[in-house]
Amino acid sequence: MQRIMIIGSPGSGKSTLARTLGERLDLPVFYMDKEIHWLPGWVARPEEEKPSIVARIVANEKWVFEGSHSKTYQLRAARADVLIWLDVPISLRLYRIVWRAVRDRGHVRSDMHEDCPERLDMLPEFIRFILRTRRSTRQKQQALFDEAMCPKFRLTTLGSVRTFLGSL
C-alpha cells in the first residue's frame, strides 16, 4: 500500500483513518478540505483550480488522500493502489460532526486549512447539506467502489475499521 484513497461522507472518520494510516505506513497524508477545498477564512477554492492540485498530489509515488470531492474521484482512483470507503451510519456521522464542532470550537483542526476554525454558527447549514446530499453522495461513492480495479475495502462499523487496522 503506497497510494491509499479514502472516501466517505462527512463525519465518517476519513481524516482520522488517513492520519492513522499515514503514521503506521510512513506515508504522507493529504486532506481534501485542507489541500483542495478551503482557502483561509472559509473561502471555497474555485472549482477550476481543484483538478490541477489533485493531479499534482496523486502524481507522487506515496500518499494517503482522504476526501469525497466526487469531481476528482477518477483522478485519484486512477493512481490509487487501495480504495477505502467508510460507509458508516448517518446517526454516527451526525453525532461526530456535532461533537467535533463543540470540542474544537474556535480551533483549527489538523485536517483543515489555516484560519478555518470550527464554528458553531456553521453547524446547522453543514447538517442541512449532509442531509440534503446523503443519497446522491452515497450513490457516487457506491459507483466508484463498484468500478474500482484496485483492492478495495468497505468499512461500515467502528469494529470493521479496527479490524482493518489490526490486519496491517
Query: pLDDT per residue over 39-62, tens digit each?
Result: 999 999 999 999 999 999 999 999
3-state secondary structure of 160: helix
CA–CA separation, 22 and 65 (whole Å): 10
The mean pLDDT of 142-155, rounded to a whole number, is 95
Q: Which of 100, 102, 120, 123 is nearest to 110 (CA)?
A: 100
Q: What is the residue type of 98?
A: V
Tell me what the pLDDT averaged over the chain comes to: 94
- For residue 38, list its beta bridge partners: 44
Report residue 31: phi and psi, to 5°: -110, 130
Q: At what angle do helices 158-166 and 14-25 cross, to 10 degrees?
A: 10
Q: pLDDT at position 33, please? A: 93
Using one digit for the tens of pLDDT, what is the confidence trace for 81-129?
A: 999 999 999 999 999 999 999 999 999 998 898 899 999 999 999 999 9
Q: Residues of the chain with pLDDT > 70: what percent?
A: 100
User: What cell numbers appear for 141 in the block?
Assistant: 461513492
User: What cell numbers appear for 50 in the block?
Assistant: 481543484
How many Å is the maximal CA-CA distance in the chain? 41
The mean pLDDT of 125-141, rounded to a whole number, is 94
Strands 63-66, 29-31: pairing is parallel
Q: What is the DSSP letter of 71?
A: G
Q: Residue 21's pLDDT band (boundaries 50, 70, 90)?
A: very high
